[in-house]
Structure 1
Amino acid sequence: MNLKNKVAIVTGGNSGIGLAAAKELIAQGATVIITGRRKEAINKAASEIGAIPFVADQSNLHDIDLLGETVEKQFGKADILFINAGITGTPDLIEEANEANFDSVMNINFRGAYFTLSRFIPLLNDGASVVFLSSNTATLHSPKSSIYQASKAAINSIAKTAAAELAPRKIRVNTISPGPTRTDVLNKSYGEESAASIWDHLADVVPLKKVGVPEDVAKMVAYLCGEAASYITGADFVMDGGMTLN
């Protein structure tokens, strides 16, 4: 119960890494508010793990404001902010890129994440922990991933600036950059059989010969929010089985 009596917000908490992180934070004693765009999905996830649901789209600044107002009204302040919500967008070469995909990815992954932090800074207790979900792709520069990669590189940059700005209040800001992590995203896009083949291929290119699971990242989120990580800020934790070594 390392996080007993802590209030935590997890954006994009109805599935994947966000859901696993919310579950881990609850297991360690925190009261957790999870957000998501789909009411049915967020309510179902919250009831399963004992979280508090809040329907919000991270790309919508009005929703972010309402979330902040609700947290302030119900809890006063928060201790943990895990800015997790994000999308990959469509894989396009730079010369084939379109504005709609660019705007969609940047509005959620960068603009939304930035203003979630901005709006919540006044609501964070001194000594609070902020964690951004980034990606190892921010430094890999793979073809057809320019927009997504740029959105995550931007997150890494603002997290370090925020760490410097918030250090006087002992608020720590860090990023976690996973590599391939087994969620339902590929199943939904390609079907189970094709997704299994993709995961097998990804495991082959990872030095540890496996892909991650959401629980791996969840444990790191919880660690960074606890007392054991009280001297860590402005850091990026790459969790990719050594993929970036190649």
Structure 2
Amino acid sequence: MSVFAPDLLDGKRILITGGGTGLGRGVAGHLVEHGAQVHLWGRRAGVLQEAAAEASASRPGSVHFQSVDVRDGAGVDEAMGALWADHGPLTGVVNNAAANFIAPTESLSPRAFEAVTATVMKGSFHTTHAAGRRWIAEELPGSVLSMLTTWVWTGSAFVVPAAMAKAAVHSMTMSLAVEWAKYGIQLNALAPGPIPTDYAWEMLNPTDKSSVGATQAEQIPMGRMGTVEELANLTMFLLSDACRYLTGQTIAMDGGQMLAGPGTFAGLAALSPEDWTAIREKSKAATAATKSQRS
């Protein structure tokens, strides 16, 4: 049973980037069930179509999708203009598009670094900027919610590009909260702890050694993983009109993991070169299998 009224988000039009898979796909259905019109962005049209059908099962026609690469600033602005023209102004944006994998930093190529940082940092800025300048021009309020991690406060070994990029979005959230407050635009962020989803979980938990990494329930004071439903509840509260006075905040939702740990991948320092070779092979296999299933 939902803790919110079914009409909590009536009249809201919300964009979720990276909405075809993982947490974005999971949250979308909850927004729809509470009255929102939802738009999903991602790079793979087939995956987006499946996600839209799934999320709109309770309210057919309530979910739309566009194939958009958030790393491309001009493409993002063009897609935002089309969304605005075809469906009307957004009321909220969820910056959820992300890329990540664990690896010793010395082994990273410039291309690997760019793949992660461009999606997280540039993608979040491009999407926020494209929506924000339209809200300002039309004198409309708006809300931006970015999905981050507790690494924005602690850093994290072995996921350095993601930690850097998410820290940048954390800074953007605080900076624009001040700059755009006078326009009625809120910017907040969530830093969820481990919430298992397909593919992303395999990339961040590719070893059977349970004593390392940041994805083990025994490392969380509450003794369990988080759920998509819990994340959706907090997301809906922040995208609703329940507390328009809240802005510039990144809220940790991790069962106490950061306070007890923190929850980073520092334990991976115990892995041997052979372990890392096995991890790379497993990650390649997971990526290939995912591409095959979606082709």
Q: Could you state the TM-score of these two structures normalised by the residue count of structure 1?
A: 0.91
**1:193 Cα deviation after fit:** 9.8
**36, 50, 58: which is aligned to 1:44?**
50
Q: Deviations over 1:71-127 (max 9, x none)?
A: 11113311011111001144223x333211111111100011111111111333633
Greater relative contact order (CA < 8 Å, ≥ 6 in sequence): 1
The answer to whether structure 1 residue 185 and structure 2 residue 215 are counterparts is no
Question: 2:18 is paired with a residue of what secondary structure?
Answer: coil
What is the aligned partner in structure 1 of residue 264 from structure 2?
Answer: none
**1:44 Cα deviation after fit:** 0.9
What is the aligned partner in structure 2 of residue 57 from structure 1?
Answer: 69
**149, 164, 173: which is aligned to 2:163?**
149
The count of corresponding residues between Structure 1 and Structure 2 is 245
Q: Which runs of 5+ in 2 are unaligned?
A: 1-6, 57-62, 261-295
Counterpart amino acid of residue 102 in structure 1: F
What is the aligned partner in structure 2 of residue 28 from structure 1?
Answer: 34
Contact 2:9 2:31 in 1 (8 A): yes
Larger Rg: 2
For 2:200 and 2:14, the matched residues in 1 are separated by: 28
Question: 1:42 is paired with a residue of what secondary structure?
Answer: helix
CA distance 1:146–1:215, change in 2 (3 Å): same
CA RMSD, Structure 1 to Structure 2 (Å): 2.4
Question: 1:229 is paired with a residue of what secondary structure?
Answer: coil
What is the aligned partner in structure 2 of residue 107 from structure 1?
Answer: 118
Counterpart amino acid of residue 86 in structure 1: A
For 2:230 and 2:207, the matched residues in 1 are separated by: 24
Contact 2:29 2:54 in 1 (8 A): no
**100, 104, 128: which is aligned to 2:142?**
128
Contact 1:4 1:29 in 2 (8 A): yes
For 1:192 and 1:110, the matched residues in 2 are separated by: 25
What is the aligned partner in structure 2 of residue 225 from structure 1?
Answer: 239
Question: 2:91 is paired with a residue of what secondary structure?
Answer: strand
For 2:15 and 2:215, the matched residues in 1 are separated by: 34
**1:215 Cα deviation after fit:** 2.2
Matched residues, percent identical? 25
For 1:21 and 1:40, the matched residues in 2 are separated by: 19
Q: Which runs of 5+ in 1 are unaligned?
A: none
For 1:196 and 1:54, the matched residues in 2 are separated by: 39
